[in-house]
Amino acid sequence: MELPCQPVYVNIPSSNNFAESERLLLRPICDSDAAALLAIPSRPELAKTNHPKEPFKSIEETRQWMSSKTFAEGPLDIIGCSFTFAILDKSIPKSQEQLVGYVSVNTLDPCPEIGYSLLPESWGKGFATEALRMMLKMWWDLPRRSVDDCNGNEEKVYAICEKANEASCKVLRKCGFEVVSEFCFEGDKLLIWALQKC
C-alpha cells in the first residue's frame, strides 16, 4: 500500500473545537472514554473490517489505540496533537452512555488519513455520514500554514476502506470522496479514497 505524500498544511490548536448538530455532538476523546470506546473495536462485526481483524479485549488495548491517534510525525507544532472525536448521540439520556462512535484524522504522515466507526446499534441512521461531514468542516476550517513544497497539488484528505464494506464506501461517497486507487492486503481488496479541499 502506498499513500500519496502531502505536506502538512494545517495548524492544529492545542485544544480542539467541538461540533454539534441537532442529533450529534463531536468532542475530543479523553481518557475517561476508554471503556465506551472499547465497546466499538471489541465487536467482531466491526473488527472484521479493520486491521488486524482481531477484536480488542482490554482497556489497555483501547488506550494504546487512543495514544496511536496522537501525531508523532510532522512539524514540531503538530507532534503531540490529535484530531480524534467521540461521536455522542444526543437522543440518549445523559444518565446513559451517549458515546456511539468516533471519527478522526488518524495520521498526517505521509498524508491526512481519516477513520471512523460506529456501534452497530447506531448503524443505518446516517450518523457516520453526518459525523464525518462535521469533522471535515472542522478540518478544512483550521488555519493553514504556508507550504512551499506542494508542487502545485491541491490539498486532500484520504481514507482506506475494504471494497467489500459497502456501507463505509457509501459514507465516503456521500461525503464527496472518490476512489483513486485499489490494492490487495492480506487477501482483502482495499480502496484508497480522496477528497479535495473545497
CATH of the domain at 121: 3.40.630.30
Give CA–CA dist 40/51, Å, rounded: 14
Backbone phi and psi for residue 87, each to the nearest 5 degrees, phi listed first: -100, 115
**Domain presence at residue 197:** no
**Domain presence at residue 172:** no
**Domain presence at residue 188:** no
**Domain presence at residue 62:** yes
Which segments of the chain have a pLDDT < 50?
none
Reported as type and span, the H/E element at residue 160 is: strand 156-162
Domain count along the chain: 1
**Domain presence at residue 186:** no
The pTM assigned to this predicted structure is: 0.93
**Domain presence at residue 189:** no
Contacts of residue 52, Cβ cutoff 8 Å, sequence gap at least 6: none
Supply the pLDDT for residue 137: 96
Residue whose C-alpha cell reads 455520514 in the numeric block: 129
Supply the pLDDT for residue 166: 94
Residues 41 and 56 sit within 8 Å (Cβ to Cβ): yes
Supply the pLDDT for residue 112: 96
User: What residues make up the domain containing 70?
Assistant: 19-153
Supply the pLDDT for residue 1: 55
Supply the pLDDT for residue 134: 98
Supply the pLDDT for residue 50: 75
In Å, how far are 35, 53, 75, 81, 107 from 47, measured between CA atoms?
17, 5, 32, 26, 20
**Domain presence at residue 45:** yes
Supply the pLDDT for residue 188: 83
**Domain presence at residue 9:** no
Give percent above pLDDT 90 in the chain.
77
Supply the pLDDT for residue 144: 92
